[in-house]
Structure 1
Amino acid sequence: MITKISKKLAQQIVDTVKDVSGYHINFIDGSGIIFASTNHQRIGDFHEIGYRAAMTGEVIETTGEQQFQGSQKGVNIPIFHNALFVAVIGITGEPDEVRKYANLAIRITQLLIREQEMDAAIFTQKEKVNYIVRSLITGDFSNRAYLNQCLNEVKVDATENMRTVILLLNNRYNVVNISLIEQKLFRTLESIQAPLFSYTYPNEFIAVVYEKNLPQTVPILKQLAADYEHILSIGVGSNQEINQLKLSYDNSYIALKSLQVAKSNYAEFDLLDIEIILGSIDIKSREEYLKKTLSALSDEDISLLRTYYEQGMSLAKTCEILFLHKNTLQYKLDRIYRLSGYNPREFRHGVILYVALWLNVNLL
């Protein structure tokens, strides 16, 4: 609830009332000071009749026959909101002419105050949602009582199992247009009844969805991924209780890391296998592994290996895709063996090289 009017809102009120009435309007605070006015020269002046109206809570009219400090003829109306004094609205002019705008001034003032209260409430709720999401994905339960209070206020059923969903915006997407895609995401997540949704600058959207809604959620997320194929990457985390959503969040990122190999923009953690292990390897270990396995190979060698393994180590299929003669391909594979020390056609060595290819693509 608003208990103090900002200068910006006060000026908005007087400008709006003047637009309707055509008369100069003053916004007078409880101490009689003109806080905002359509006659800017009067801002900061003491308004004696406005002060009296504030003290008595009654409408006071002046005809100009009596002299009052800082006052001109007009009507001065005390404004109350939720039974609390807000200000006095002074309408300058002949009382018989401006009196009819008194009720309108009250209505406009209360309407603008309520509008700002609603905006503030929405902002406050958004802050609480951001706090909840941040606490859950980091596992920070240091203020459990406040977290539970926020969960209750935004009507999240903490007894239900949930999953995190990360929607990652392509860094090349124009951030100026972020609000457009954000609105689309909001509408989509509302349609699947996602209880929590947060945006983290510059390009990460985080949603928490109920596990029980997953059968309806997945097709919608897949369609969203298809609609924004070159803009969004979506990773769906694992099924967890609310206190374990940090694990679900981490698993969402493992799902995202698998996308570059899969050449897709949608992945579910539950459908991964080797990627679960590989996605958990730290950066330093990856770098050491790649140095040992691929450092002697050229980009052309690495590309050939990737195609070879994508085709199930089939010489015929690889030759067809790369337009190579079988002997040429065998020569190139032998060359890779000599340079790296790992034979691409031998099972154990092939696994080592396949892992290296995966880590090389996902070295973030």
Structure 2
Amino acid sequence: MSAPLSRGLAQRVVDQVSPALAHNINVMDRAGIVIASRDPARIGTLHRGAREAAATGVPAVIHAGEEPAGARPGVNLPLTLDGDIVGVVGLTGDPATVLPVAQILVLTIGLLLTRERELDASARREARDRDLLSRLVNSDLDARAVGASLAGDAPRLAAPWRLAAVVDAPSPASAESRLPRNLLDITRRLESTGRFRWASFQGALWVLGRATEHDDDALAAAGMAAAAASGTTSNASATLLVRGDACPDIETLGGSAKTLGALLARPRFLPTGSPVLRSGELTAELAVACMPAETARHLASHVSGLSAVHRATVNAYLDSGRSISETARALFAHRNTVIQRLDRIAETTGLDPRDPRQSLTLRLGLVAARGWAT
């Protein structure tokens, strides 16, 4: 059986359709009590004709001179939602005049109520998931409450879990995360799968799902397909998906959430060469994001004298595991060219990329120089 018709919902719908009609509109519940009306004095009164219409499913037509107590001339038609009679819609006036209007009106109100209920359900889902996800990202972990939500609310999510965030690529002009421009399309695609929880806050779309290859691919596909629909495929990194670790328990999920929160708090440190980033590969970015400003600026000063070519060489060299051959292939350069560039980098910065400890300083310096907001 459908849920009872709420007064607030019924009144919102009456307020939407009333301006287009010259007649008074009433909405009664299944007991015949007026719960919404253009005439506030009618709310809360009993309409016996409506009670009969709700009980029998037969329209109640009231002519002048035949009005029972608490009623006025007009027509009262049963209101059906999801196959159940949930109330009655009444239109005051000469039945011969208002019946055709009432027949259209009850269909219109039914559609509006259905839509309003969907919006209410969506708002409740959004509020519920925002509370869950924002607590994971921002608050002390309440493992019991998180576990109850994951097991008790739809969609139910069993371990292992993965939290991810979707944002627009960081801009040099802004130090804050920005919601993806294709947010609505992404959430529609997520909703169609029935396998994710999501909420928007702090400039990001946060998405929680199971850490399975199937769900990982579904989330990535939602972001990329939405990017294509919005015409951003010319820039593969216009929308970034930052993916957390697979989490076998709630405590690990809480740690992953805090890590993502720290990364997204300083999005300008994020690399933009790939549309999908993994938090486990962003250790340098996380370290710089958590540093005091003075420390990060000092690190950035180590690489301030490097050209764009030399910075690209350091990154490629470190990404390759300090392999000169792999770096040469990645940069389409000769081995000797790579060696000469590494020598020049060491001379310019005083830090040799071939030394593991010094290469770490270079890596952090490059990240700091990428986006520290001065």
State the TM-score, normalizing by the size of structure 1: 0.65
Q: Write the distance in 2 (CA, Å) between the matches of 1:125 and 1:34.
A: 26
SS of corresponding position for 1:241: coil
Following TM superposition, by how much is the alpha carbon of 1:215 offset from its aligned partner in structure 2, in angstroms? 5.0
Are 2:78 and 2:89, in contact at CA under 8 Å, matched by a contact in 1?
A: yes
Following TM superposition, by how much is the alpha carbon of 1:57 offset from its aligned partner in structure 2, in angstroms? 4.0
What code does the residue aligned with 1:263 have?
G
In structure 1, the residue matched to 2:365 is 356
Following TM superposition, by how much is the alpha carbon of 1:319 offset from its aligned partner in structure 2, in angstroms? 11
State the superposition RMSD in angstroms: 5.2
Which consecutive residues of structure 2, in runs of 5 or more, have no partner in the other structure?
Answer: 53-59
Identity over aligned residues, as a percent?
A: 12
SS of corresponding position for 1:11: helix
Are 1:197 and 1:208, in contact at CA under 8 Å, matched by a contact in 2?
A: yes
In structure 2, the residue matched to 1:40 is none
Q: Write the distance in 1 (CA, Å) between the matches of 2:88 and 2:71.
A: 17
Kindly indicate whether residue 257 of structure 2 is the aligned counterpart of residue 249 of structure 1: yes
Are 2:162 and 2:210, in contact at CA under 8 Å, matched by a contact in 1?
A: yes
Kindly indicate whether residue 239 of structure 2 is the aligned counterpart of residue 236 of structure 1: no
Are 1:164 and 1:236, in contact at CA under 8 Å, matched by a contact in 2?
A: yes
Q: Write the distance in 2 (CA, Å) between the matches of 1:91 and 1:197.
A: 45
SS of corresponding position for 1:2: coil
1:193/1:258 CA distance change after superposition, 3 Å: farther
Following TM superposition, by how much is the alpha carbon of 1:204 offset from its aligned partner in structure 2, in angstroms? 0.4
Q: Write the distance in 2 (CA, Å) between the matches of 1:7 and 1:349.
A: 69
CA displacement, residues 153-185 of structure 1 (integer Å, 9 cap, x when unaligned): 31313x421111111124669xxx979712331
1:200/1:110 CA distance change after superposition, 3 Å: same
CA displacement, residues 121-144 of structure 1 (integer Å, 9 cap, x when unaligned): 232122222222223334655594
Following TM superposition, by how much is the alpha carbon of 1:343 offset from its aligned partner in structure 2, in angstroms? 5.2
1:143/1:89 CA distance change after superposition, 3 Å: farther
In structure 1, the residue matched to 2:56 is none
1:359/1:91 CA distance change after superposition, 3 Å: same
Are 1:344 and 1:350, in contact at CA under 8 Å, matched by a contact in 2?
A: yes
Kindly indicate whether residue 7 of structure 2 is the aligned counterpart of residue 4 of structure 1: yes
Q: Write the distance in 2 (CA, Å) between the matches of 1:150 and 1:296.
A: 46
Matches within 5 A, 1:1-364: 1-5=4-8, 7-14=11-18, 18=21, 24-28=22-26, 35-36=37-38, 53=47, 57=51, 59=60, 61-63=62-64, 74-77=73-76, 89-93=90-94, 95-99=95-99, 105-106=105-106, 108-138=108-138, 140=140, 142=142, 144=144, 148=148, 151-157=151-157, 159-170=158-169, 181-190=182-191, 194-201=195-202, 203-211=203-211, 213-215=212-214, 217-218=216-217, 221=220, 224-225=223-224, 227=228, 228=232, 229-244=236-251, 245-252=253-260, 260-261=270-271, 263-270=273-280, 272=281, 275-276=282-283, 279-281=286-288, 283-285=290-292, 287-288=294-295, 290-291=297-298, 294-295=300-301, 298=304, 300-301=305-306, 303=308, 305-310=310-315, 312=317, 333=345, 336-337=348-349, 341-342=350-351, 348-361=357-370, 363=372
1:144/1:84 CA distance change after superposition, 3 Å: farther
CA displacement, residues 92-118 of structure 1 (integer Å, 9 cap, x when unaligned): 23x445456656555554554344233
State the TM-score, normalizing by the size of structure 2: 0.63
CA displacement, residues 292-317 of structure 1 (integer Å, 9 cap, x when unaligned): x553764x436454134245386x96
Which consecutive residues of structure 1, in runs of 5 or more, have no partner in the other structure?
Answer: 19-23, 37-42
1:3/1:248 CA distance change after superposition, 3 Å: same
Compare CA radii of gyration and give the structure with the larger one.
1
Are 2:11 and 2:35, in contact at CA under 8 Å, matched by a contact in 1?
A: no
Q: Write the distance in 2 (CA, Å) between the matches of 1:60 and 1:127.
A: 43
